[in-house]
Amino acid sequence: ELKVEQNPLFLSMQEGKNYTIYCNYSTTSDRLYWYRQDPGKSLESLFVLLSNGAVKQEGRLMASLDTKARLSTLHITAAVHDLSATYFCAVAISNQGGKLIFGQGTELSVKP
Amino acid sequence: ETGVTQTPRHLVMGMTNKKSLKCEQHLGHNAMYWYKQSAKKPLELMFVYSLEERVENNSVPSRFSPECPNSSHLFLHLHTLQPEDSALYLCASSQDSRSSYNEQFFGPGTRLTVL
């Protein structure tokens, strides 16, 4: 059974600090997604990572993928309050089309 | 309207009621999905439709009945639900359900409360 595990599940940060969210998965994947969800809102796509060594950056967020280690990271640089949200990684299973398996989510709170 | 829309946004129903959730996508996609998001749990895939044909049903109880009349509309019919069915129900669409190279776009969700 495919498992996708995020760490940590809860993260309280001060503004200006850096931190990393980890996403481990247990089987071969075609690609990995990172989503953001604000309270009561839907999921917003942040990054799509396609291959080993892929790195993408948008503003204060940077995502990377290591398919050999089955690990993706979402790094937050100099956090600001607007980044407070829940972040999900989702893994697309090889040979199973569009099926996504989601991690539990990391609830990020950035405090002044 | 753009993207993926869902109605209603909030729904409170009794265990004996029958109600329906509606999803509409304006992206020209061929695949649509229903997910359940319970508190403190990962999203759970419920149903997948590709070109109006159900291609996946993840052991969902029969009190949930999906309907996909065309590639732009998806319904989830609810009857005799249980309190543990209270959750956020999210609809998503993608160009093609057969390939993982197609990103899924999510609607705003319906917050369902079963009393």
Concatenated DSSP letters of chain B: --SEEEE-SEEEE-TT-EEEEEEEE-S--SEEEEEEE-TTS--EEEEEEETTEEEEE-S--TTEEEEEEETTEEEEEEES--GGG-EEEEEEEES-TT-TTS--EE---EEEEE-
- A100 and chain B in contact, CB less than 8 A: yes
- B87 and chain A in contact, CB less than 8 A: no
A15-74 confidence digits (pLDDT tens): 999 999 999 999 877 789 999 999 878 899 999 998 888 899 999 999 999 999 999 999
Which of B40, B94, B100 lies at the smallest CB-CB distance from A31? B100
Q: What mean pLDDT value characterizes chain B?
A: 90
Q: How far is B17 from chain A (nearest CA, A)?
A: 24
A61-89 confidence digits (pLDDT tens): 999 999 999 999 999 999 999 999 999 99
